[in-house]
Amino acid sequence: MGDLVTATDFLVTTPLPDPGMSLLEAAGTVTVAGNGMSHAELAEACASGNYKVVVAQLRDEFDASLLDRAKIAGISNFAVGYNNIDITAATANSIIVGNTPGVLTDATADIAILLMLAVARRCVEADAFVRAGKFHGWEPELLLGHDVSGKTLGLAGFGRIARATARRALAFGMTVVFCPRPPGDREVSDEELGEFAGKVGHISWPELIATSDYLSVHVPLNDQTRHLVDADVLNAMKPSAILINTARGPIVDERALVAALQGGTIAGAGLDVYEDEPRLAPGLAELPNTVLLPHVGSATVPVRAEMARRCAENAIMMVRGEMPPYPVNP
């Protein structure tokens, strides 16, 4: 690590919501890059020795080439996910990484359910219909959609957000099944099942794909889950099925999804994340059987404030040379 004695404590690539910035400013010197940095600008700043800790966003990519040259002590990521950071390379270069776990579970589960209902009940189409002045009174077959009660929700993953989604779906009278680590499997103890014992079913990935009326993705993005939902998976789903993704875009092969939606292989999709954010696969935005949100799973005022607090706390402890409260690579 380079000489950090005169370095600025925090390089903030994009300002944090309150109270993040005030916590950082009270604890040390802060440079705010503006509203994001290019990869080249970030790499140069990290290699300069001018900053101790980077307070980063998901769109800031810390790959091995950047991290191998970096003279920073830590990266505090303003997110629970950290697929924008090569953790192996960070660890190899003694760079601590922190994230913001736990606080966005319910907000993201709400968005998964919102997307499921919005696609099933054609909410966006219906809203546009009214605004366009096309509503001329109740009609027996106007904008008919799909039920959720009595239907099967399949959860790819069984972490915090999947379980919060299961809790909500059970309250809607849905059957809930899950595969904890697709495309493979793993044991789930009674202790881990906890409140869900006897209420949700643990099944294999092929069974989950084939039986779900709604398939909701809740796995981290890694080499095993990239394109987990590909053309083969989409072909094996029910033609009436609806896919929900609030996790990470590259888990779904977006071009295959567009083809499946265009061809009627599945009935619809609700997406909060995209394979190449903020770009969309060609054709996706034109499909009426989709609801598309701009990665807002955690976007409530209290959740973003708590994420900002945790992100700042991580960064402050890193600058002090102490273990952050939410480390990714202890």
Residue 298 binds ligand DGY, judged by CB under 6 A: yes
Q: Which residue type, as a one-letter code, is found at position 295?
A: H
**Measuring CA to CA, which residue among 210, 218, 217, 220 is closest to residue 240?**
210
Q: How many Cα atoms are found within 13 Å in the side-chain-facing hemisphere of 24? A: 29
Nearer to ligand DGY, 8 or 57 (CB): 57
CB of 80 to ligand DGY, least distance (A): 4
Number of C-beta neighbours around residue 220 at 10 A: 15
Judge whether 248 counts as a catalytic residue.
yes
25, 61, 207, 277: the active-site residue: 277
Minimum distance, C-beta of residue 248 to ligand DGY, in the bound complex (Å): 7
Size of the site for ligand DGY (CB under 6 A): 6
Does residue 104 belong to the site contacting ligand DGY (CB under 6 A)?
yes
Tell me the C-alpha distance between 86 and 63, whole Å.
5
Omega prior to 278 cis, within 30 of 0:
yes
Taking CB under 6 A as the criterion, the residue among 297, 306, 326, 328 binding ligand DGY is 297
Minimum CB–partner distance for residue 81 and ligand DGY (Å): 3
Of 11 and 58, nearer to ligand DGY (C-beta) is: 58
Residue with Cβ nearer ligand DGY (241 or 308): 308
Of residues 23, 63, 66, 19, the one with CA closest to residue 45: 66
Asked if the bond preceding 140 is cis, omega within 30° of 0, the reply is no
The residue to which tokens 């567009």 are assigned: 258
Residue 268 contacts ligand DGY per CB under 6 A:
no
Closer by beta carbon to ligand DGY, 174 or else 315: 315
Tokens 């219906």 -> residue: 126
Catalytic residue among 248, 304, 309, 310: 248
Alpha carbons 44 and 14: distance in angstroms, whole number: 16
277 classed as catalytic: yes
80-99 residues near ligand DGY, rule: CB under 6 A:
80-81
What is the smallest separation between the CB atom of 249 and ligand DGY, expressed in angstroms?
10
Distance between CA atoms of residues 270 and 283, nearest Å:
15
**Residue 251 CB neighbour total at 10 angstroms:** 25
24-83 residues in contact with ligand DGY (CB under 6 A) are: 79-81
Instruction: Catalytic residue, from 295, 304, 309, 310: name it.
Output: 295
Least gap, CB of 188 to ligand DGY (angstroms): 23
Q: Tokens representing 264?
A: 């009627």
Query: Of 122 and 304, which has the nearer Cβ to ligand DGY?
Result: 304
Residue partners of 153: CB distance under 8 A and separation at least 6: 116, 165, 166, 169, 174, 175, 176, 177, 212, 213, 214, 216
| List of residues contacting ligand DGY (CB under 6 A) | 79-81, 104, 297-298
The set of catalytic residues is 248, 277, 295
